[in-house]
Amino acid sequence: MAVAAGLALLLAFPPYGWWPLAPVGVALLAAATHRRRLRAGAGLGFVTGVALFAPLLAWTNLHTGYLPWVLLSLLQAAYLALLGVATAWVSPLVDRFPPVWPVVTGVLWVGQEALRDRTPFGGFPWGRLAFGQDGSPLLRLAAVGGAPLVTFAVAVTGGLLVAAGWWLVQARRQPTAARWWVPAAGAGAAVLVLLTGALLVPLGGSASGGSVTVAIVQGNVPRLGLDFNAQRQAVLDNHVDATIELAGQVAAGARPQPDLVVWPENSSDIDPLRNPAAGARISAAADAVGVPILVGAVLSGPEQGQVRNAGLLWRPGTGPDLEQLYIKRHPVPFAEYVPMRDLARMVSKQVDRVRADFVAGTEAGVVRTPAVVLGDVICFEVAYDGLVRDTVTGGAQLLVVQTNNATFDVAEARQQLAMVRLRAVEHGRPALMASTVGVSGFVSPDGRVSDATGFNTRAVVVRQLTLTEGRTLATRIGMLPEVLLAGLAVAALAGAAVLRRRPG
């Protein structure tokens, strides 16, 4: 059952997208760990975690060897081991008060994700239940309580399924019991009510009446893999050439004139502020298209041996606008910087591939262009609730995710696009993802994807987007739902502790 739970959860995520299996996976793990000893609960949770995360994160081993993939998968599985312990621990509570089983299941999942999203080194939120619901009615709940509420709803649905099945089995063991089907039918009805109720949640902010036309340039790279850094001039040239071609098409009337062009992360790994030739190439592209370009650049400094991952607005005629510069706030540990480098080197000398540590920025990614205010996050930052919300509370009208998937594969890109869909719904804003190699595309405030590109291809897509204003409930209340639900998880664990202390 634990293995089946992990595989069911896996199939809920892209590229599979069988979202109804997520509650099934939750139910199977809850059933497998119910009334188990704590050590068994930990083992079963760990098995589920390995069955989920090892294949879900397989894209991490494409160009770095097996060790990072194995270590990351085992670390994430350890959090599901803790969930298995917690689920086994609360068994006396749900046995004593069976109607609370679904809610307890839900809050324990939220608590586990809250911990995993923050520890260690800032956490790794990949594989949250909410990120596997991009095609589900439950996605709409993101507008009310963000990703934590969607996770809670998925886990509650799984809790209803396991409770219905458990009550059904118990009743059939006592065939003389009257109306044994009532609690099972009630749980099934609650699932339908939850899914139907989610469809009633209104989506999107109120239209402001304004619109903006945006072009995404996906320049592609000569070769996939970690050596994209060695190809940095070719990558920059690809994005410059594609933008100049777009300008020619606009002049010929074949394409609409954009108000803004977005390049992906790592589109200029040559620092254009220090390398005049790189800066001249970007200026040529901006001058040709006649509008600002949001460039994904690697900038040197501020200290010797340090670099910054940046979104930099480059204006036609005047060049870089250093007032409109976003520095990535959450660099990826062991990929963009190496914590405890000497110790990490003892595990694998591969960490020395990271020659210069990326320095974290301190300001939210609010980038103001003449046509629209952008909420910029870079690559994995889209998985972190607060980093995206900060841009919207700072005035962002359009969410932008600049990413580089050249070291991964199409499965990772589609998993990331699912997160963009959730963020668009959560904050009632149009959004886009711009990737070096794909998948790039636009997302409307109701979560629909338009003009998605292929993977490992060169493409330019242009779309007019309707801007929205106002804030969703999720934007206004921020992390409050997660705090409340995680608090209830702690209360459930404490309540189970009280019951375990009672004799008999």
Cα torsion at 473, 479, 483, 484 (round to 10°)? 0
Q: What is the CA radius of gyration of the chain?
A: 24
Residue 395 has pLDDT above 90, yes or no: yes
pLDDT at 278: 96
463, 451 contact by CB (below 8 A): yes
- Provide mean pLDDT across the span 359-364: 96
Mean pLDDT of the chain: 92
473, 143 contact by CB (below 8 A): yes
Residues identified as active-site: 265, 328, 379
* CA nearest neighbour of 485 among 110, 2, 43, 145: 110
pLDDT at 230: 57
The C-alpha angle with vertex 357 and arms to 408 and 54, in degrees rounded to 5, equals 30
pLDDT at 225: 54
pLDDT at 20: 94
* CA nearest neighbour of 435 among 415, 357, 447: 415
- Provide mean pLDDT across the span 383-395: 97
Residue 229 has pLDDT above 70, yes or no: no
330, 280 contact by CB (below 8 A): no
* CA nearest neighbour of 132 among 44, 197, 217, 53: 53
| 36 band by pLDDT with thresholds 50, 70 and 90 | very high
Q: For residue range 406-452, what is the model confidence (pLDDT) as tens digits? A: 888 899 999 999 999 999 999 999 999 999 998 999 999 999 999 99
Residue 177 has pLDDT above 70, yes or no: no
DSSP single-letter state for residue 43: H
pLDDT at 187: 74
Residue 227 has pLDDT above 60, yes or no: no
| 204 band by pLDDT with thresholds 50, 70 and 90 | confident
Q: What percent of the chain has pLDDT over 70?
A: 94
Two structure tokens written together for 441:
């595309």
- Provide mean pLDDT across the span 390-394: 97
pLDDT at 110: 98
CA dist 415 and 412 (Å) reads: 5
Residue 145 has pLDDT above 80, yes or no: yes
Whether residue 264 is preceded by a cis peptide bond, meaning omega within 30 degrees of 0, is: no
Lowest mean pLDDT among 109-118, 169-178, 245-254, 313-322: 169-178
What number of H helices and E strands is found in the chain?
15, 13
pLDDT at 504: 56
pLDDT at 197: 79
Q: For residue range 264-306, what is the model confidence (pLDDT) as tens digits? A: 999 999 999 999 999 999 999 999 999 999 999 999 989 888 9
Q: State CA 289 to chain mean position distance.
A: 32
**Across-strand partners of 320?**
314
| 63 band by pLDDT with thresholds 50, 70 and 90 | low
Whether residue 302 is preceded by a cis peptide bond, meaning omega within 30 degrees of 0, is: yes
